[in-house]
Amino acid sequence: MVKTLTIRDEVYRKLLAVKTKEESFSELLEKLAEGTKSIEVLTSLRARVEFREKERMMSDLSTARAERRI
C-alpha cells in the first residue's frame, strides 16, 4: 500500500541531507520510526549536516541526558 505524505520544504531538505543515495525515503522513515540508536543516527549525519549552534546543542543534549537519569 502506498500513502502520500505532505511535509514542509524545510523538513524535506533535512531528510534529504540524512538519506543515503542507496536508501529510499520509506527506508529512512522506517529506520527513524523504529528508533535507530542515537550513535547510528549521528554517524549517518556526519559530514552531511552543518551544526550552526554546536555548543548550545551539546549543552541541551547534556541537560536532556541528566533529566533522563533522574
Give the model confidence (pLDDT) of 21-66 as tens digits: 899 989 888 887 777 566 776 677 666 656 677 788 888 888 888 8
What pLDDT was estimated at residue 19?
Answer: 86
What is the rounded CA–CA span in Å between residue 15 and residue 18? 5
CB atoms within 10 A of CB 7: 11
- What is the per-residue pLDDT across 1-26, written as a single tens digit (0 to 9) for each? 888 888 888 888 888 888 888 999 89
Amino acid at 53: E
- Cα 41 to Cα 28, 34, 38, 57: the distances in Å are 11, 12, 5, 15
How does DSSP assign 35-60, residue by residue?
T--HHHHHHHHTTT---TTHHHHHHH
